[in-house]
Amino acid sequence: MSLCTAEPEPFFTQITLTDGDTAGCGHLPFIIWLLCVLSPETLVLIGASRSVRETLIQAIHNQILPTRLVETRLFSLEKEADSALYYYASPSWQTPEHLKSELDKLPAGSLVLLGGTASPAGRPIWAELKKTFLTFSCFHAGGLGLLATTPPHNTDVNFILTKTSTCSEDDLLKKTLLRERFSQAGQFWENKALLSAQTEKIQGLQEELRQQQLLFLNTKQEKTSLKANLDAERTRLETKNSTLHAYATFWRNHALVLREANTALSASLSQ
């Protein structure tokens, strides 16, 4: 699982994307690679998403690693572990005072991953950390930084943490190519998570449109039914009005006949 491996498995590891909680999924290829080359006793996840947690649990199982996974929302020092890898999800580490205090408590040889180092809030903090610690960073998915308090024993990890000023051109090229490979692998999963989220939104909009169409059809049917009822009522009223008009004409004519008869009777009585 070295840097020279033609097709290291972490680049092709299946990542579990949990709906609505995929933050940091683009960091997973690099984290899995670190797990495979280091086999740390403990992996501490601080504020990680469900996608990150479930994928790493599966990776530890598949690779048969001796790593114990600890999940917490706040910093938790693993004093009993000789080797520990910490992953701070963004923005759980972006309070400089707390972060410095926590880093000072770590035992020598600890490795720390910080998500969001390329974000507006994380960039200045990461720039300060680079002045003090051995670091390596990727720029995709909001940025991912790796730092160590002391040079690690693993050759590959020690290589990528070597300060740029002491690297040869060939070493710089190797680090750049490695960064690009992890960036491509991570961005693939970031894009897939984004596509999944957009697909879910589209499906939601399609369902909303379907409901609106049903409502429109129901409204149209109700309108048609109401129009039919109104037409029937109008016909009934027109018929009733016609009948009343006929009755009125009949009684008016009858009244005229009675008046004429009454006039004739009055005339005959007066003679």
Q: How confident is the model at residue 136 (pLDDT cuts 50, 70, 90)?
A: very high
Query: Among 37-41, 103-107, 212-216, where is mean pLDDT lowest?
Result: 103-107
User: 4 pLDDT band (50/70/90 cuts)?
Assistant: very low
Whether the predicted pLDDT of 122 surpasses 60 = yes
Average pLDDT of the chain is 84
Q: Which residue has the higher pLDDT, 91 or 175?
A: 175
**pLDDT tens readout for residues 150-169:** 888 888 898 988 887 777 88
Look up residue 11 and give its two tokens: 């680049």
At position 204, the amino acid (one-letter code) is G
State the Cα–Cα distance between residues 83 and 257, nearest whole angstrom: 122
Distance CA 258, CA 118 (A): 107
Q: Which residue has the higher pLDDT, 166 or 235?
A: 235
Question: Pairing between strand 111-115 and 144-148?
Answer: antiparallel
C-alpha–C-alpha distance, residues 19 and 53, integer Å: 13
What share of the chain in percent tops pLDDT 70?
A: 91
Going across the sheet that includes 134-138, the strands are 68-72, 42-46, 84-88, 111-115, 144-148, 134-138
Q: Any residues with CB less than 8 A from the CB of 25 and at least 6 apart, and which?
A: 15, 17, 49, 51, 52, 55, 141, 186, 189, 190, 193
Q: What contacts 156, CB < 8 A, 6 or more positions away?
A: 2, 3, 37
Q: What domains are defined for the chain?
A: 9-197 (3.40.50)
138 beta partners: 144
Torsion angle (degrees, nearest 10) of CA 16, 11, 183, 159: 130
The pLDDT, as a whole number, for residue 83 is: 76
Give the predicted TM-score (pTM) of the model: 0.69
Q: Report, as an integer, the average pLDDT of 229-237.
A: 88
Res. 98: pLDDT tops 90 = no
Q: List, for residues 185-230, the tens digit of each pLDDT value.
A: 888 888 888 887 787 788 888 888 888 888 888 888 888 888 888 8
Any idea which residue has 């609505």 for tokens? 20
Element holding 25 (H helix, E strand): none
Give the model's pLDDT for residue 135. Answer: 92
pLDDT(1) > 60: no
Backbone angles phi, psi at 236, to 5 degrees: -65, -45
Count of helices and strands (H, E) across the chain: 6, 6
As given in the structure block, the two tokens for residue 65 are: 């690693």
Q: What is the pLDDT of residues 42-66, one digit of tens each?
A: 999 998 999 999 999 999 998 899 9
CB atoms within 10 A of CB 192: 15
